[in-house]
């Protein structure tokens, strides 16, 4: 798969609502852009680019349902594994992003992360059950001692999960659990920066004892921000001779770059948890999923080097969605099964 995905040579792979998505796409009348402005920056391409991106919409996209399950039980339980050194402020920011996905009694201003997830929840299984609208951080486990070292392979990522399960902080949650492994800036992972920024798959019983969906995302801030924190960092070969990187909304290039990757993987993991549900292409070992189709698109008018219409506040910080507690995030669009096009809550058309 593209940037956020990998393919195992032995049949493993990583991947790079009930209301209509049209409602989410028509939020321009109520977009909360006070003290901010829309702009559509043209930036140099990142070091790695996707060959499977469909900019806007395409009749060539054959996204099909392959009869497998989606994560429809509510809530979806996120089991967070903090691998390496993470500060309290970093943990709180990431958890604020995850909790921003779910509907709230005091919703975030539009365009919001929760509205973005409405598109994900349009996907159904063979019974007609939609992907759940609600995600919660069920439990957390900190592995600050780097129990499996400072370098992880694709298989040792599963061993990290096994360690957390066997240590008993986490239950075995087959039905509606996602095991989310986040590695700190000083941890290298097989193919990280070279071919992937994150991936998802399911655990092997031989490794963990059970088959459970999981995802991994790394903090690229010190290793390859121009690859995995784009557009908050741009390739060094530009040498200052082109458009500069955008300012991250939370002041942390590595962390701000992670949010779109986390969103990408959660969207694909919930709609294709066992790699037999929603994807395009005939080869299940290399599926093109709902995030891949829109990778690099963040707003209306994206494509051809433009990321789309996003929002810039008075301090020059760039975002396209609001979250809980006044947080702001830049998150890629995803493929809508209703519109048969890339969609996001900050759409201007």
**Within 13 Å, how many C-alpha atoms sit on residue 91's CB side?**
16
Averaged confidence pLDDT in the chain: 86
pLDDT in tens, 116-128: 999 999 999 999 9
Least Cα distance to 230 among 256, 202, 201 occurs for 256
Q: What global pTM score does this model have?
A: 0.88
Kindly state the tokens that stand for 314. Answer: 């008075």
> Which class for 17: exposed (0-12), middle (13-18), buried (19 or more C-beta within 10 A)?
buried
> Which class for 115: exposed (0-12), middle (13-18), buried (19 or more C-beta within 10 A)?
buried
pLDDT in tens, 318-332: 999 999 999 999 999
Question: Looking at residues 89-116, what average pLDDT do you find?
Answer: 96
pLDDT at 262: 98
């Amino acid at each position: 798969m593209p940037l956020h995905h990998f393919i195992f040579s032995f049949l493993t792979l990583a991947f790079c609502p009930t209301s209509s998505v049209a409602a989410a796409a028509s939020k321009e009348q109520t977009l909360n852009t006070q003290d901010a402005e829309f702009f559509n920056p043209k930036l140099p391409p990142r070091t790695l680019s996707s060959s499977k991106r469909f900019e806007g919409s395409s009749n060539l996209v054959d996204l099909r349902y392959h009869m497998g399950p989606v994560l429809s039980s509510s809530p979806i339980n996120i089991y967070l594994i903090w691998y390496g050194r993470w500060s309290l402020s970093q943990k709180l920011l990431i958890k604020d992003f995850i909790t921003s996905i779910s509907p709230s009694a005091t919703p975030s201003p539009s365009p919001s992360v929760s509205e973005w997830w409405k598109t994900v929840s349009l996907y159904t299984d063979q019974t007609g059950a939609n992907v759940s609208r609600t995600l919660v951080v069920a439990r957390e486990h900190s592995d600050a001692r780097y129990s499996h070292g400072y370098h992880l392979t694709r298989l040792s990522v599963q061993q990290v999960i096994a360690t957390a399960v066997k240590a008993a902080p986490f239950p075995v949650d087959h039905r509606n659990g996602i095991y989310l492994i986040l590695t700190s800036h000083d941890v290298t992972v097989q193919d990280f920066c070279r071919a992937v920024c994150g991936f998802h798959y399911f655990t092997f019983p031989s490794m963990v004892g059970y088959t459970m969906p999981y995802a991994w995302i790394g903090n690229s801030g010190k290793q390859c921000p121009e690859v995995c924190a784009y557009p908050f960092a741009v390739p060094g070969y530009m040498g200052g001779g082109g458009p500069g990187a955008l300012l991250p909304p939370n002041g942390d290039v590595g962390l701000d770059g992670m949010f779109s990757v986390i969103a990408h993987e959660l969207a694909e993991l919930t709609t294709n948890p066992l790699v037999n549900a929603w994807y395009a292409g005939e080869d299940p070992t290399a599926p093109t999923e709902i995030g891949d189709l829109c990778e690099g698109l963040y707003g209306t008018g994206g494509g051809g080097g433009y990321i789309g219409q996003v929002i810039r506040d008075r301090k020059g910080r760039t975002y396209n969605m609001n979250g809980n507690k006044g947080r702001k995030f830049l998150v890629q669009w995803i493929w809508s099964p209703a519109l048969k096009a890339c969609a996001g809550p900050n759409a201007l058309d």
